[in-house]
Every structure is written in C-alpha cells, then in structure tokens.
C-alpha cells in the first residue's frame, strides 16, 4: 500500500503537470471504487482548472479554481498519473480526466479497487472529513504529545505507528524501518517506553520518511509516481522484507513476527523486547 513517501512523490510529480491545466472532459469506468462516485460530479469537474496539488497523510488533494476539492486515496494498488492522450489505456483504469492543450490525460488506475476519488464542496468539507482520521504529519509531531500518547497505551509500538490518528501517513514499511532506526522492538508496549526512547522513535519516524521521499518512495509491486517513474527506497531497506538476511548493523539474522495484524520485520540483536535491556543498551 502506498504510504506517505509514495503519495508525496505522486503529488510532487503531478504538481507541475496539472497546476493551471483545465479538465475538458471526463470518462468514468463502470466498476465501483471503495467509495461511490456521484454522477453529478462530472458536470462540476469539466471546465474546472487545477489551482494546487497537495497531500495530507496518505490523501491527495487537488484544489480547483471554483472552490471544490478533488480528494484521492490510492488504496493498495492505486496509480494517479499523467499520460499522453495516445498512450494505450492500461487495464483497471477507472477515471480519465482529459486536460486542455497538449497536456494529455490524468488517469486513475486501481487493480484492487480499494482506492477512491471524491469531490468535496470546499476546503472546510475536506478538513471536516480528515479531522478525525489523521494526526500530525511525521515532521510535525509534538514531542510531549507523542510521549504522552505512548505512556497511556498498552498497545504495541507497531500498532501505535500504524494508527493514523497518532501520526499520519506511516504504514507497514516505514513503521518497521523507523523502529529499527530507533532500536525498539515492534512488540514493545507503549507504556514501557521511556521519554528518551519516545523521542528517539519520533525522530526516527521523521528521518525515515524524509529519506524515503528523497528516494521517491518504495516500489514493491504496483507503485509508480505521478510521472510513471518507480521509487528507489526499496534498495535502502534495513529490515523490511529482509527476513533471514543479516542485519546491516550487527549481522544478526533479521526475523519477522505478526504484530497488529501485519508482518513486522526486526533485528533481534538491535531491537530487544525488554525495557530494562533496551535502557542499558542506550547508556
């Protein structure tokens, strides 16, 4: 599933291709996406000009000149790309926005159909929709609030990082990589974490996300950026997807365990599941 770095890459790719462009036609596929498409949206979109392209968590927001907002979620296999008008249409393409001039077409493709594209009346409607779904961005986490969130929960650290209301945009890949960078086991309980460990995890989350954005995200299966290019951060993984391989820091064999319903990769040497041992390791 595309996480924050992948969605941010799509946004950065699309911004120069879309801003100032007008939707002159729209084609809607027959198969339904995760959230229903309303018939009257097409009439409201055709003729609208894209004024901005941005991201909040894993959501893409297209600001339109007349006030409405087009809000996109890539789901598990979604692709939101600009292609030339004469480029062959790929299977599972559900929406095609024809752009004015020679700008081509904005296409939304999703094989699994867990993604969505919705039209909101204005910015207030978008904020209301996302308000109870998303916490702060990784680079904007308040240190005190994060420490308190961990201290008052008995959930595992992996579960906390996957909770979008605690930190927006982090998914399975970057939770594993951040926990490794922080030297914390994915099964550690939040309430056992010290203030220093909480700070280390918060900083690790922000650093991993920033590094992944610099590498255009991670291409595991279907992900491509808005220009159709693949990501490169999969070549930088320290633990994710490396079960049975040596840890790059201590050479211990990377292991995997099921946590919060997800496969969680970790190094048994660098990430001890013991508060006491973890504290000693940092001295």
Which residues does the annotation mark as catalytic? 2-3, 58, 262
- Return the number of other C-beta atoms located less than 10 Å from residue 221's C-beta: 8
Nearest to 121 by CA among 58, 19, 41, 59: 41
β-pairing verdict for 93-99 and 105-110:
antiparallel
Cα separation of 30 and 186, whole Å? 42
Half-sphere exposure of 79 (CA within 13 A, CB side): 23
Q: Give just the sign of the alpha carbon dihedral 48, 49, 54, 60.
A: positive
Edge-to-edge, what's the strand order for the sheet holding 50-56? 50-56, 59-64, 69-73, 116-120
**CB 140: neighbour CB atoms within 10 A?**
10
Query: What is the maximum span of the chain, computed from C-alpha positions, in angstroms?
Result: 64
Residue 190 contacts residue 150 (beta carbons within 8 Å): yes
CA distance 178 to 186: 10
Instruction: State the Cα–Cα distance between residues 1 and 224, nearest whole angstrom.
Output: 12
Closest alpha carbon to 60 in 112, 106, 93, 111: 106
């Amino acid at each position: 599933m595309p996480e924050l770095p992948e969605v941010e890459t799509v946004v950065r790719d699309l911004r120069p291709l879309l801003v100032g462009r007008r939707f002159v036609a729209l084609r809607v596929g027959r198969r339904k996406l995760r959230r229903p498409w309303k018939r009257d949206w097409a009439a409201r979109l055709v003729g609208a000009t894209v004024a901005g392209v941005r991201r909040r968590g894993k959501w893409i927001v297209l600001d339109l000149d007349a006030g409405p907002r087009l809000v996109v979620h890539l789901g598990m296999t979604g692709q939101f790309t600009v292609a030339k008008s004469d480029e062959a249409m790929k299977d599972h393409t559900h929406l095609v926005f024809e752009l004015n001039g020679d700008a081509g077409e904005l296409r939304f493709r999703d094989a699994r159909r867990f993604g969505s594209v919705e039209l909101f009346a204005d910015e207030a409607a978008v904020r209301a929709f996302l308000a109870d779904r998303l916490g702060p961005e990784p680079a904007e986490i308040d240190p005190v609030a994060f420490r308190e969130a961990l201290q008052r929960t008995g959930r595992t650290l992996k579960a906390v990082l996957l909770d979008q209301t605690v930190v927006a945009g982090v998914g399975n890949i970057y939770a594993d990589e951040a926990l490794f960078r922080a030297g914390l086991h994915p099964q550690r309980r939040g309430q056992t974490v010290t203030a220093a460990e909480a700070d280390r995890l918060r900083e690790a989350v922000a650093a991993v996300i920033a590094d992944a954005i610099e590498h255009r995200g991670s291409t595991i299966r279907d992900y491509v950026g808005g220009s159709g290019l693949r990501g490169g951060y999969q070549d930088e993984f320290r633990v994710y997807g490396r079960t049975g391989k040596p840890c790059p820091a201590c050479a211990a064999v990377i292991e995997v365990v099921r946590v919060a319903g997800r496969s969680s990769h970790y190094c048994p040497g660098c990430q001890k599941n013991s508060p006491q041992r973890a504290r000693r390791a940092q001295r």
